């Protein structure tokens, strides 16, 4: 055990967060996201039984968001014609505001299939059991 490390952060995830450099990206994926197929060139970490908000909050306690890009946090945009509601995005913005003074200004959206293409280039993908739809979030690492 270590002091100051959220219990939800596994040794594998802690190692990955440490290995990541400036501009590397990590995806925290909902339960519907094709983590294994998108992550063929990435490290896939299973966090079954956990939701995205709790993982996001724990990671942001350790992980600086990139200050050299306008939107270091990317969400998967709702598809046109899909009447999906995304209240979880408000939760994300509240969590981000706790850890980054820019708050919701750090958050942007990426069209669904473009998000998949960007996810294929991520350093790591965390597979969660999140049931909310359009709950995927991509973080770009900054510097301390």
How far are the Cα atoms of 6, 25, 36, 81, 127 from residue 11, in angstroms, in the given order? 11, 19, 20, 41, 16
Both structure tokens of 86: 């995304």
The residues, ordered by sequence, that sit 6+ positions from 51 with a Cβ below 8 Å of its Cβ are 128, 129, 130, 131, 132
Which residues are tagged catalytic? 22, 66, 116
User: What span, in angstroms and rounded, lies between the C-alpha atoms of 61 and 55?
Assistant: 10
Distance of CA 130 to the CA centre of its chain: 12
Q: Is 128 exposed, middle or buried (0-12, 13-18, 19+ CB in 10 A)?
A: buried
Helix segments in 1-144, DSSP class H: 11-19, 35-38, 52-60, 88-99, 112-119
């Amino acid at each position: 055990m270590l002091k100051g490390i959220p219990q939800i952060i596994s040794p594998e995830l802690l190692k990955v967060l440490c290995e990541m450099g400036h501009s590397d990206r990590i995806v925290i994926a909902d339960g519907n996201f094709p983590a294994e197929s998108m992550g063929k060139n990435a490290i896939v970490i299973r966090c079954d039984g956990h939701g995205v908000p709790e993982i996001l909050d724990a990671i942001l306690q350790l992980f600086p968001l990139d200050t050299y890009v306008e939107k270091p946090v990317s969400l998967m945009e709702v598809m046109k014609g899909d009447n999906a509601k995304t209240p979880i995005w408000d939760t994300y913005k509240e969590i981000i505001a706790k850890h980054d003074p820019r708050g919701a200004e750090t958050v942007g959206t990426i069209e669904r299939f473009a998000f998949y293409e960007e996810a294929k280039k991520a350093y790591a993908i965390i597979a969660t059991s999140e049931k909310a739809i359009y709950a995927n979030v991509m973080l770009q690492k900054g510097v301390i």
